[in-house]
């Protein structure tokens, strides 16, 4: 008399589906983070004869150069400036080395901020009252490009 034993049938579909539902979203999240780290933090200031174009995905601001108040343009150190330090984020992103969006400043007024280095930034205001704080490598060269150099 022969007795045959067979292994229980293994249903692979639930385990495969579980891995698809978990691993695919994790892989997509990882890919999104890598792409953001590689391309998302690259910002650019494009200056032509009429406008200053401030770009950092997903933000873009177009500032007419004629509207910049030359007397308001100055380098700032946001870590030590009493009036222009960042107080409250109204809209945007606040990461350790990237602050972008609209922020309320310590003086109570709002400004568009694109800061990667708080110690190397410039502040300027427009005729309509809009304010900007931008990180730049060289404030003097940036002022020269805008036609605001002394």
| Number of other residues whose CB lies within 10 A of the CB of residue 68 | 20
Rg, C-alpha atoms of the chain? 26
Strand order of the sheet with strand 59-64? 44-47, 51-56, 59-64
Backbone angles phi, psi at 134, to 5 degrees: -130, 140
Q: What is the pLDDT of residue 11?
A: 62
Q: Which whole-number Å values give the CA distances from 113 to 14, 20, 52, in the listed order?
A: 49, 40, 14
**36-81 per-position pLDDT tens digit:** 666 655 667 888 889 998 888 777 889 999 999 999 999 998 888 8
In 3D space, the residue among 65, 73, 72, 61 whose CA is nearest the CA of residue 113 turns out to be 61
| Element housing 25 (H / E) | helix 12-35
| Cis omega (within 30 of 0) for bond into 58 | yes
Q: Which two tokens stand for residue 4?
A: 């045959």
- The angle at the Cα of 122, spanning 119 to 124, to the nearest 5 degrees, equals 150
**93-125 per-position pLDDT tens digit:** 888 888 889 999 988 999 999 988 888 899 999
pTM: 0.71
Q: How far is CA 97 from the centre of its chain?
A: 9
Q: What is the pLDDT of residue 14?
A: 65
User: What are the extents of the domains in the chain?
Assistant: 11-40, 68-146
Q: Which residue has better confidence, 40 or 15?
A: 15
What is the spatial distance between Cα 142 and Cα 78, in angstroms, rounded to a whole number? 18
């Amino acid at each position: 008399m022969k007795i045959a034993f067979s292994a229980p049938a293994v249903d692979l579909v639930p385990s495969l589906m579980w891995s698809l539902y978990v691993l695919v979203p994790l892989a997509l999240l990882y890919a999104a983070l890598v792409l953001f780290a590689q391309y998302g933090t690259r910002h650019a200031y494009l200056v032509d004869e009429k406008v200053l174009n401030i770009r950092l995905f997903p933000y873009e601001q177009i500032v007419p150069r004629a509207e910049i108040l030359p007397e308001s343009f100055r380098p700032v150190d946001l870590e030590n400036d009493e009036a222009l330090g960042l107080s409250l984020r109204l809209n945007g992103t606040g990461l350790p080395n990237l602050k972008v969006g609209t922020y309320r400043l310590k003086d109570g007024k709002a400004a568009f901020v694109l800061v990667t280095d708080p110690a190397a930034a410039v502040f300027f205001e427009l005729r309509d009252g809009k304010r900007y704080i931008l990180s730049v490598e060289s404030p003097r060269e940036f002022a020269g490009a805008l036609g605001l150099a002394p």
